Amino acid sequence: MSTLKALWQRGRDFLGVEHAILGGAMTWVSERNLVAAISNAGGFGVLACGAMPPDILAKEIAATKALTDKPYGVNLILMHPLLTELIQACKNQGVSFVVLAGGLPTQTIIDNLKAGNIKVIAFAPNLSFAKKLVRMGVDALVIEGSEAGGHIGPVSTSVLAQEILPHVKEVPVFVAGGIGRGEAIVEYVRMGAAGVQLGTRFVCAHECVAHPAFKQAFIRAKARDAIASVQLDERFPVTPVRALANKATAAFQHTQTAIIGRFQSGEIELKAGQLEIEHFWAGALRRAVVDGDIDNGSLMAGQSVGMVTEEQSTQMIIDELIDQAKSYIRGPS
């Protein structure tokens, strides 16, 4: 019978950590305090750059380094207009790992990072993308299912794991989306994952700076409350985002309906309507996480939110996950 340590040894070696658990990069949430706490607890914290400009990112990296001497990574969004400058900031700060999100990176981006001795981790939404990313030279992959919080794809974690894990052996693959307990961690590493990524589970860590009202919304929520945003008309695209249902969710539906009606009556042009829908959520995540406006903000959360029942220290969260995993491996006593 394999031990947990043996099951995810590849992930531990790749990341240089005790537990092959990546912290999901959550904008406004995954900042220096939570990232350092995850790394100090034996996991692998990931700093969410989000929309930060390069100078602010450099300061946040330096602040993170002041809180931990353990490995951590930086998440960069590929659509950021200053991506090249952000990469240079990571190089200047001696970052060892960068997680690329929000699309398929170009060969130039990957080569630029690797030229700075930075290990590149990228998201793969399907098997063909996974194989392409491996050919392009990424060092590891994350496969994230639709159960996750925030921006999501259409396929569940369990299906992605079956599709990709048996066929990608060249690099470590980390599984994400809907993971909230140690038993699930064990099953995915038994399937061939090098480790896992969790985001929602860490929102209610003591070290997380999210507003108390934001945390309480997570503690009260059930899995079914974390819903994906709905698109009412294919002419008005909506990027799928999973978040807790609130007043803003209902308002978004009404806004779409109103805009579609105005377009059909000739009151507005198609592009103008599309932009109104696209801008509806501008600043909404900050309103919820930082300001605590849980009615009108965006409460991005994965379906594992139902397993978040109290505020705990990051160390306690990771210890609980590891204890669950080890107990599961041992079996009934």
Q: What confidence tens digit (pLDDT) does each residue in 180-195 have?
A: 999 999 999 999 999 9
Question: Domains in the chain, please, with CATH?
Answer: 4-209+308-330 (3.20.20.70), 222-300 (no CATH)
pLDDT in tens, 87-138: 999 999 999 999 999 999 999 999 999 999 999 999 999 999 999 999 999 9
pTM for the structure as a whole: 0.96
Give the burial string for 319-331 (b: 16+ CB within 10 Å, else e).
eebbebbeebbee
How many CA atoms does the CB half-sphere of 6 hold within 13 Å?
Answer: 4
Burial class (CB in 10 A: 0-12, 13-18, 19+), 231: middle
3-state secondary structure of 247: helix
Burial class (CB in 10 A: 0-12, 13-18, 19+), 148: buried
Confidence band of 278 (pLDDT split at 50, 70, 90): confident
142 and 122 in contact (C-beta within 8 Å)?
yes
Q: What is the pLDDT of residue 1?
A: 60
Residue type, 4: L
Q: What's the angle, vertex CA 333, arms to CA 202 and CA 309, rounded to 5? A: 25
